[in-house]
Structure 1
Amino acid sequence: MEGKLLELKKVSKIFYKSGILNRRIVKAVDEVSFDIGSEPEVVALVGESGCGKTTICRLILGLETLTSGDIIYKGKSISKWLRENPKDYRKEVQIIFQDPYETFNPFYRVDRLLSVAVKKFGLAQDQSTTKKLIFESLEAVGLRPKELLGRYPHQLSGGERQRFMLARIYLIEPKLLVADEPVSMLDASLRAMFLDHLKEFKRIGISSLYITHDLNTANYIADRIIIIYAGKVVEKGPTEAVINDPLHPYTKDLITAIPIPDPKKRWKEKIEISKIKLSERINQKGCYYYNRCKYRMPKCETSFPPEFEVDGRKVSCFQYE
């Protein structure tokens, strides 16, 4: 595991849903493998709603149990981390959700939410140092401590809550931030602000797994992109290469379908991936994209392609055998 901060190794998650007549199996994540390097970087996990992105996020955080595979953090399985050193893991791997309000205790004022983190992770030894750290973290994201402290989460706007979560990252200084659709509820100016803080996190030594359905923000912020479709990783590589010269038919369709006449303006607008019904997205035996792919071959219907390496990238498509 040398040289890797985080590694997912053939990670799968199956959910069982009970129906009136039978029990239905939903394979939310299917043998997903990728890594985040030891040097700070931003990796974007890009896919449509329902493709398994949030499940991957929850698996990394230990909020869901693996069906198969393993997740390795700093050379050790996270199951071992959570069993032997849970507090250390929780400090080093932090999360920002799409709506941070869901993570707040509504009965705690926001200053207590920060002071609890200081105490839990041993960030300060006395009250004056605690106050200093809290003030500095809030000011780093453009919040005014004297106006914010003493308020309850419901008294903050959506933008203030998201900036508050950024302040918490500055305060705790984890090694890895998992950001699950963090800007989808923000307006353009706040979206840019949030992404710029991810760049600053990278500068100070914090890596980010940026989970999104928006190719534009992924293109802006990420060093590498992972494209996921129906729970399967179909392409991954350096952002510029994936965006400018996509290999997988799904990635190509995402980019070429953007209705912008001038290609130079392609990345100036928000780009979203359309939803696909569960009933039409899964072909259990073959490639999950078979029914939509214009490059499909007979064997694509019966066999899912392995990963092939092409010019430093990896793509799951039989065109590159």
Structure 2
Amino acid sequence: MSALLELDRVSKTFSRGGLFSSQRVEAVKEVSFALQADKPEIFTVIGESGSGKSTLARMVLGIHAPSSGQIRLAGRDVAAYERQAFMAEVQPIFQNPFEAFNPLKQLDRYLFMTAERFGGASGRTAAEGQADEALRQVGLSLAEIAGRFPHELSGGQLQRAAIARALVAKPRLIVADEPVSMVDASLRMSIVNLFGRLRDQLGLSIIYITHDLATAYYISDRLIIMQKGVVVEQGPARAVLSAPTHPYSRQLRDAVLTPDSAGAFRVAHSAKAAATPGASS
């Protein structure tokens, strides 16, 4: 069984302060996990602000280089990839869709550029075809967004357009950093369900970065929980979140599950159990 992505004792240290007051901050400490090439999954990284989860995502995306350890994509060190070849395999989805697009540029230009640069499209006609196909996979179409600017779409529509832009490249892996935190609560589950369809229908693996335990339980296959840069618990999502063993994991669940979110967690628990009777995550 070959690995799509491997993290081997990956750490990241930042230096903060001036010349005489410099401090070393360990944002991520010796994190290891692997995603298999022949088993698409949604692998979730859970943690509060400052846990290191977004730093971990940026290292997977090649934005930050690890201070130690190694990240391998298809058996090859990420640092050895030419950037364009890497982005054809791995695509990001960021937290705020309104910051992901230049407000002065039409949305379709982003999709055409991605199709030509990373998706292998040769010419405008091919790029339009790939853009329309990707948009339809997220419930939109090129006719709906052609010539439109980001402010002309709702937050939910814009995040779907951002997902479509990632899909245009036909990647093997998507890294989604808090992709529903800026979307209206009523639309969050539709985005999360979309990730499940992309896994099941397109064979995509998704690293889902979140602090939302309800959506993590509902959609994740496996997960890790991070505290101050360290993985404190990992395993199948349902097993870990139903009965966390680490004190921090229990504290996080108890602190996050307010009456409203606890209801959402119960709904997610029931929905997942009904959708996958007898199945393990």
TM-score category (smaller protein): 0.7 to 0.9
C-alpha distance in 1, partners of 2:176/2:72? 19
C-alpha distance in 2, partners of 1:266/1:129? 42
Q: Is the CA contact 1:224–1:238 (under 8 Å) kept in the aligned structure 2?
A: yes
Larger gyration radius, structure 1 or structure 2? 1
C-alpha distance in 1, partners of 2:2/2:124? 38
C-alpha distance in 2, partners of 1:33/1:48? 19
C-alpha distance in 1, partners of 2:119/2:217? 37
Q: Which residue of 1 aligns with 2:128?
A: 131
Q: Which residue of 1 aligns with 2:16?
A: 17
Q: Which residue of 1 aligns with 2:236?
A: 238
Q: Which residue of 1 aligns with 2:63?
A: 63
C-alpha distance in 2, partners of 1:49/1:5? 28
1:255 to 2:253 alignment? yes
Q: CA RMSD, aligned part only?
A: 2.2
In structure 2, the CA distance between the partners of 1:79 and 1:20, relative to structure 1 (3 Å rule), is closer
Pick from 176, 180, 185 the counterpart of residue 182 of structure 2. 185
Q: Which amino acid aligns with 2:41?
A: E
Q: Which amino acid aligns with 1:14?
A: T
Q: Is the CA contact 2:119–2:170 (under 8 Å) kept in the aligned structure 1?
A: no
Cα deviations across residues 259-308 of structure 1 (Å, max 9, x unaligned)?
Answer: 559x8x471479xxxxxxxxxxxxxxxxxxxxxxxxxxxxxxxxxxxxxx
- The alignment-based identity, stated in percent, is 42
Cα deviations across residues 31-85 of structure 1 (Å, max 9, x unaligned)?
Answer: 111222221000010000111111111111111121111111111110112xxx3
C-alpha distance in 2, partners of 1:112/1:188? 29
Cα deviations across residues 217-274 of structure 1 (Å, max 9, x unaligned)?
Answer: 100110001000000001100011101221111112223453559x8x471479xxxx
C-alpha distance in 1, partners of 2:51/2:106? 36
In structure 2, the CA distance between the partners of 1:197 and 1:22, relative to structure 1 (3 Å rule), is same
Q: Which residue of 2 aligns with 1:4?
A: 3
Could you list the runs of 5+ residues in structure 2 that have no partner in the other structure? Answer: 269-281
C-alpha distance in 1, partners of 2:136/2:234? 36
Q: Which residue of 2 aligns with 1:211?
A: 209
Q: 2:91 aligns to what SS in structure 1?
A: strand
Pick from 225, 228, 236 the counterpart of residue 226 of structure 2. 228
1:158 to 2:150 alignment? no
Q: Which amino acid aligns with 2:3?
A: K
1:114 to 2:111 alignment? yes
Q: 1:120 Cα deviation (Å)?
A: 0.8
Q: Which residue of 1 aligns with 2:276?
A: none
Q: 1:106 Cα deviation (Å)?
A: 3.8
Q: Which amino acid aligns with 2:252?
A: L
Cα deviations across residues 3-58 of structure 1 (Å, max 9, x unaligned)?
Answer: 32111111111111115961122111111112222210000100001111111111
Q: Which amino acid aligns with 2:15?
A: Y
Give the 5 Å matches for 1:78-93: 78-81=78-81, 85-93=82-90
Q: 1:119 Cα deviation (Å)?
A: 1.2
Q: Which residue of 2 aligns with 1:100?
A: 97
C-alpha distance in 2, partners of 1:145/1:164? 10
C-alpha distance in 2, partners of 1:88/1:12? 24
TM-score by length of 1: 0.76
Q: 1:233 aligns to what SS in structure 2?
A: strand
Q: Is the CA contact 2:31–2:231 (under 8 Å) kept in the aligned structure 1?
A: yes
Q: Is the CA contact 1:11–1:33 (under 8 Å) kept in the aligned structure 2?
A: yes
1:202 to 2:199 alignment? yes
C-alpha distance in 1, partners of 2:99/2:78? 24
Cα deviations across residues 94-141 of structure 1 (Å, max 9, x unaligned)?
Answer: 000001333324443111111111111253334333222222322332
Q: Is the CA contact 1:173–1:206 (under 8 Å) kept in the aligned structure 2?
A: no
TM-score by length of 2: 0.86
Q: Is the CA contact 1:13–1:66 (under 8 Å) kept in the aligned structure 2?
A: yes
Q: Is the CA contact 1:227–1:234 (under 8 Å) kept in the aligned structure 2?
A: yes
In structure 2, the CA distance between the partners of 1:259 and 1:99, relative to structure 1 (3 Å rule), is closer
In structure 2, the CA distance between the partners of 1:65 and 1:156, relative to structure 1 (3 Å rule), is same
Q: 1:154 Cα deviation (Å)?
A: 3.5
Q: Which residue of 2 aligns with 1:44?
A: 44
Q: Is the CA contact 2:112–2:124 (under 8 Å) kept in the aligned structure 1?
A: no
C-alpha distance in 1, partners of 2:267/2:229? 27
In structure 2, the CA distance between the partners of 1:154 and 1:259, relative to structure 1 (3 Å rule), is closer
Q: 2:9 aligns to what SS in structure 1?
A: strand
1:142 to 2:110 alignment? no
C-alpha distance in 2, partners of 1:219/1:267? 8
Q: Is the CA contact 1:12–1:30 (under 8 Å) kept in the aligned structure 2?
A: yes
